[in-house]
């Protein structure tokens, strides 16, 4: 690999099979640009995913990758990070995978402050299974899979992540690739758990591009990302979908750092002795 890598150096030979115009293409581009900006070696990156349209991601990137089971991407990514602390680990999933069946894993990844970047590609529907309402579908949303309208109140992913005290919380829109790339760069450099909600429209079952162009805007100038209460207040302003880094706390020790500290203090185990004998 060249010393200065380009985004295309991370592109695999597998052609993406998302629908034409899907927001996920922009997310793929932004993530590869972020890798190139940080000049990460391909073999130093692992992408883990769950189930859904967005979770096909690992196949399209020339890095290590694993396509896991539905809703279990965070335990999977946690294991990868603990087993290989020097690896840059990215977890990818959709709003159904992450906020429905996998929602119970977010608070634990947050409280442990696992050093992984969790990118949730949120299209507010289940795109892989014909557009049923998801945990982030707006109340009253009508489509073929919900002819009488969605009957449930949607989750607020940013407020949820902040309430769990995630140490890095951000929102992006796939229609703004430059800004999204910058957020990814910041998240990949963050030592703890990063959660990024990406508004990524599904052009087939719920095309929200025009809507998001109207309601999204950058976080107010002067917002202090170290102020969690201020971030929560902005997250509650749901009429406007603010974009950018809501909250960041790089002072908390990561899960890996805690484990390394314990390992340094703990006595040698029988297993360590066995392995040492095998090496001799």
The stretch 153-161 carries a mean pLDDT of 97
Q: Rounded distance, CA 10 to CA 8, Å?
A: 5
pLDDT at 214 over 90: yes
What values do phi and psi take at 30, rounded to 5? -65, -40
Q: Which residue has the tokens 């990758």?
A: 65
pLDDT number for residue 270: 56
pLDDT number for residue 261: 78
The stretch 61-78 carries a mean pLDDT of 95
Given pLDDT bands bounded at 50, 70 and 90, which one contains residue 127?
confident
pLDDT number for residue 268: 65
Q: Where are the strands (E) in 53-179, listed by range?
A: 64-67, 88-94, 117-122, 125-126, 132-133, 168-173
Q: Rounded distance, CA 230 to CA 3, Å?
A: 41
Task: Compare 279 and 48 and report the one with higher pLDDT.
Answer: 48
Model confidence pLDDT, tens digit, residues 32-52: 999 999 999 999 999 999 999
Q: Rounded distance, CA 50 to CA 55, Å?
A: 5
Q: Rounded distance, CA 249 to CA 233, Å?
A: 17
The stretch 255-263 carries a mean pLDDT of 83
Q: How far is CA 104 from the centre of its chain?
A: 15
Partner residues linked to 170 by β-bridges: 196, 245
What values do phi and psi take at 202, rounded to 5? -100, 110
| Alpha carbons within 13 A on the beta-carbon side of 112 | 18
Q: Average per-residue pLDDT in the chain? A: 92
Q: Rounded distance, CA 73 to CA 55, Å?
A: 9
Buried residues in 163-178 as b, exposed as e (16+ CB within 10 A): ebbbbbbbbbbbbbbe
CA-nearest of 64, 58, 100 to 83 is 64
pLDDT at 267 over 80: no
pLDDT at 280 over 80: no
Model confidence pLDDT, tens digit, residues 167-191: 999 999 999 999 999 999 999 999 9
Domains of the chain: 7-279 (3.40.50.970)
Decide: pTM greater than 0.75.
yes
């Amino acid at each position: 690999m060249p010393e200065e890598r380009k985004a295309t150096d991370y592109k695999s030979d597998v052609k993406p099979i998302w629908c034409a115009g899907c927001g996920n293409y922009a997310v793929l581009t932004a993530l590869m640009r972020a890798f190139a900006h940080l000049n990460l070696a391909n073999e130093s990156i692992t992408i883990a995913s769950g189930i859904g349209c967005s979770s096909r991601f690992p196949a399209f990137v020339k890095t290590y990758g694993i396509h896991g089971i539905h809703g279990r991407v965070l335990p999977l990514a946690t294991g990868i990070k603990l087993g290989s602390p020097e690896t840059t680990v990215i977890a990818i999933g959709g709003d159904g995978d992450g906020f429905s069946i996998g929602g119970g894993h977010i608070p634990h990844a947050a409280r442990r402050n696992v050093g992984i970047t969790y990118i949730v590609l949120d299209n507010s529907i289940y795109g892989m299974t014909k557009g049923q309402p998801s945990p982030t579908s707006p109340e009253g949303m009508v489509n073929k899979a919900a002819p009488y309208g969605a009957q449930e109140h949607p989750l607020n992913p940013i407020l949820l992540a902040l309430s769990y005290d995630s140490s890095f919380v951000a929102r992006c829109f796939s229609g703004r690739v430059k800004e999204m790339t910058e957020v990814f760069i910041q998240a990949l450099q963050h030592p703890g758990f990063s959660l990024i909600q990406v508004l990524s429209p599904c052009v087939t079952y719920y095309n929200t591009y025009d809507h998001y162009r109207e309601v999204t805007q950058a976080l107010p100038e002067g917002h202090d990302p170290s102020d969690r209460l201020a971030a929560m207040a902005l997250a509650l302003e749901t009429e406007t979908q603010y974009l950018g880094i809501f909250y960041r706390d790089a002072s908390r020790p990561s899960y890996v750092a805690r484990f390394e500290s314990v390992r340094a203090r703990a006595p040698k185990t029988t297993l360590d002795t066995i392995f040492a004998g095998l090496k001799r």
